[in-house]
Homo-oligomer: A and B are copies of this chain.
Amino acid sequence: MNDLSESLLTDLYELTMAQAYVAQNMTGEAVFEFFVRKLPTRRNFLMTAGLHQVLFFLEQFHFSESDLIWLEEKGGFTPETLVAFQAMRFTGDVHAMPEGTVCFPHEPILRITAPLPQAQLVETRVMNLLNFQTMVASKACRCILAAAGKPLIDFGLRRAHGAEAGLLAARASYLAGFAGTSNALAGAQFAIPTYGTMAHSFVQAHRDETTAFLHIAQSQPHNVVLLIDTYDTEAAAERVVMLAPELKRQGIVIHGVRLDSGDLGIHARKVRHILDRGGLEEARILASGNLDEERIEALVRSGAPIDRFAVGTAMTTSADAPYLDCAYKLQEYAGRPCRKRSEGKATWPGRKQVYRRIGRDGRLAQDTITVEQETLPGRPLLRQVMERGRRVTPSPSIQEIRDYARSALAELPDTLCRLDQAEPYEVRIAEALEQLAGQVDQDT
């Protein structure tokens, strides 16, 4: 079972429904849209991310021999289904908001138009990829807004939910505007800058702290950032000052220190004073340790002399809101628009577009969700990115996405930039869409 594929990374019911569709010849064109029903508490907007991985998944989509053997052995799948699965590739179209777009509830982030069995089979993984990266990018935006221009680094791998979460969180936070990550594999895979300092264990493994500082400095002479809270923060800062001349003789400059515990604001002031008095005015202070956007904002507001922040668990897991209330819903089948009316979970039918109007101040003024056929003033947010299973254009580089995300954040009205919950941004439902919903309800 060594070549079980990502196509099997799905809820079982997608497979059993696909069997029924195939058996009933229900292979007409289906339109599914992915959107978020409502914002998590205290989020004022979301930032889209994950599209690149979705497109890659769709391009690669096929069942491996092992997948098919497992399905056969499991039972419940007919020979006809297995033959159909064996031949199946993703041949549909995809429209989506580019990664790094600011978006709001009910706005379709991605639309898949494909033969019904295909569009159904990809549901689970598409949601899995978009939910996670959009959630992380959105959380990362909050940290970025709180840090007010100070660089942020992702330190979250160890408490990320597994390997892929660590990798994709590094990617999502970087595209949102983080400076980089501690995650070496993410650096290698996604061409993201990597950062590292030293751990408490390094200090503990040495007989004394000064020797530990000397050893790591000699080993990493171009990136000397010393962790100073293993025993006593201020005493360690004094040791750093004492060590500096010796290192200077060896041609090594101390670039900074890291604080990882206690009251970071108080320690930062004391340490800054010790460093400055010791002639290390150039040494930067990096703070880490259970940081989130609230703590960063408080530290920045208090004027704590911290130059950069490392954010780990809170960002990687989006700890205060570790999921989005997102959905991937059938909006049209075989030319017939449809919608779900389950209590509290009703959706807008049909193929949709979102138009965004920008005010004279260059900030978001209003979004309108309408049917695809209607053209409204403003900027349409969804673009075609895949046609018949192939990307329409090469995907943007992570740097291009990052630039786009930066411009998206710059368009946010000030109220939405705050960490506290703001008045919701206005997302209008166009009359044409209201009418379509009314028609669909009559027909069902």
Contact = CB atoms under 8 A, between A and B. Distances in A.
Interface string A316-333: 011100111010111001
A35 to B, nearest CB: 14
Contact of A185 (B9, B188, B223, B261): B9
A197 B16 CA distance: 8
B341 A159 contact: no
Given A17-B198, A124-B158, A196-B15, A185 B10 contact: yes
Interface stretch (A24-32, A102-110, A350-358, A396-404): A24-32
Contact of A196 (B12, B167, B182, B444): B12
Interface residues of A, number: 105
B162 A194 contact: no
A125 B230 CA distance: 22
A202 interface: yes
| Interface pairs A-B: 7 shortest CB-CB | A12-B196, A162-B164, A13-B196, A20-B219, A161-B161, A201-B330, A161-B165
Contacts of A120: 199, 201-202
Contacts of A202: 17, 20, 120
18 contacts: A4-B188, A6-B163, A8-B188, A9-B166, A12-B194, A14-B196, A16-B223, A24-B215, A30-B201, A70-B184, A75-B222, A76-B220, A116-B205, A120-B202, A161-B322, A162-B165, A162-B168, A164-B164
A205 B25 CA distance: 12
Contacts of A330: 200-201, 204-205
A160 interface: yes
A289 to B, nearest CB: 8
Nearest to A227: B13
Among A8, A17, A74, A215, the most chain B Cβ lie within 10 Å of the Cβ of A17
B342 A128 contact: no
A74 B67 CA distance: 38
Interface of A: 1, 4, 6, 8-17, 19-21, 23-24, 26, 30, 32, 66-67, 70, 74-76, 116, 120, 123-125, 127-129, 131-132, 155, 157-169, 182-185, 187-189, 194-202, 204-206, 215-216, 218-220, 222-223, 229-232, 260-262, 313, 317-319, 322-324, 326, 328-330, 333, 338-345, 444
A395 to B, nearest CB: 17
B12 A195 contact: yes
Given A8-B184, A70-B188, A76-B222, A200 B340 contact: yes
Contacts of A169: 161
Given A262-B344, A343-B262, A127 B159 contact: yes
Contacts of A328: 158
A202 to B, nearest CB: 5
Given A159-B323, A323-B319, A333-B204, A261 B342 contact: yes
B164 A260 contact: no
Contacts of A155: 11
A335 to B, nearest CB: 12
A220 to B, nearest CB: 5
A231 B444 contact: yes
Given A9-B183, A12-B187, A261 B343 contact: yes
Contacts of A166: 9, 128
B261 A345 contact: yes
A210 to B, nearest CB: 13
Contact of A215 (B15, B23, B333): B23
Contacts of A21: 205
Contacts of A19: 219-220
A344 B74 contact: no
